Amino acid sequence: MEGYYTYFSIFLLLAITSSTIISVQGQGTRVGFYFRTCPRAESIVRATVRSHVTANPKMAPGLLRMHFHDCFVQGCDASILIDGASAEKTALPNTLLRGYEVIDDAKKQLEAICPGVVSCADILALAARDSVSLSNGPSWPVPTGRRDGRVSLASDAANLPGFTDSINVQIKKFADKGLDIKDLVSLVGGHTIGTSACLFFRYRLYNFNSTTGADPSIDPSFLPTLRNLCPEDGDATKRIALDTGSEGRFDSTFFNNLRNGRGILESDQKLWTDSATQSVVRRFSGPFRGLSKLLFNVEFSRSMVKMSNVGVKTGLEGEIRTVCSKIN
């Protein structure tokens, strides 16, 4: 049965992701964009990501989050990478992002063999895919051909999805980027790898409301564990796994945790408690673990291709930065 899931997964992933890729070709990106101009581009990015993730597995979720945060502000144009006192990376939701050195490393290697060819935006999109793959997750063809933006403002990051957002607000923010409810649930499922600081969810554990004290959507048997990890007056920067029991492995247990009241972020847990998104969570957390993971992998891959083409700059738009942290 496991072998059947594997072959079925490959078939579905190729079929669904390929149809999504075709739908975004008109935006100026395409799979194999660097085939003639820099044929080693993708292999260099992959090897660089592998080297860094092997040395520090926390780089994998960091690169995935960075790509997400980049695409939701000014489109997928690597504006998150630009340095500056009021640049995007200084906005509160972005201050704990990690992985910048991975992108810089890959860019330096690419500039040595293909100067002025491969964009930082494409490096980030490829690195996000490779990070997932290296974490036991799926891989997918990434359309490339993005160009780098010249604007990076912390004030523009106000549109990023927030950890207290209601489902209606989350749906609106994703819809504004051309992403639907299935995309929303699938992409938030990226929280199956990585951590969150206590700062972003500790309020759920103490004095959440006057009746229960803690957020009533939290499994009561799980509450003591969370309180031990994040004491009321403890270190707000301490990091806790977003997917309890499976922090470093890309799988569908994140959704099982939501069903069991073990979501860490309030916005994540609402995916289960709100009827608008619960049916998708239910699909990704069914009784057959292999099938649930298969469905999630396929939908996540499809949604990543869609998201990575949000607001892309192509053709004569933007530029190809020489150094990812600086506008030319």
* Total residues found in the chain within this entry: 328
Residues pairing with 197 in the sheet: 239
Question: Which residue among the candidates 65, 69, 146, 302 is catalytic per the annotation?
Answer: 69
d(CA 106, CA 244) in angstroms, rounded, equals 32
d(CA 118, CA 133) in angstroms, rounded, equals 21
Binding site annotation covers 77?
yes
Binding site annotation covers 192?
yes
Binding site annotation covers 251?
yes
The candidate with the shortest Cα–Cα distance to 190, out of 26, 62, 35, is 62
Binding site annotation covers 191?
yes
Residue 40 per-residue DSSP state: T
Whole-Å CA distances, 208 to 202, 204, 237, 262, 278: 9, 5, 20, 16, 23
176, 303 in Cβ contact below 8 A? Answer: no
- The residue written with tokens 């290697």 in the block is 109
d(CA 91, CA 66) in angstroms, rounded, equals 13
The candidate with the shortest Cα–Cα distance to 79, out of 103, 59, 56, is 103
Binding site annotation covers 161?
yes
Please say if 52 is a catalytic residue. no
Binding site annotation covers 75?
yes
d(CA 310, CA 75) in angstroms, rounded, equals 5
Measured CA angle at 146 (ends 142, 150), to 5 deg: 145
Q: Give the residue numbers of the binding site for Ca(2+).
A: 70, 73, 75, 77, 79, 88, 192, 243, 251
**What are the residue numbers of the active site?**
69
Q: Give the residue numbers of the binding site.
A: 70, 73, 75, 77, 79, 88, 161, 191-192, 243, 251
Q: Give the residue numbers of the binding site for heme b.
A: 191
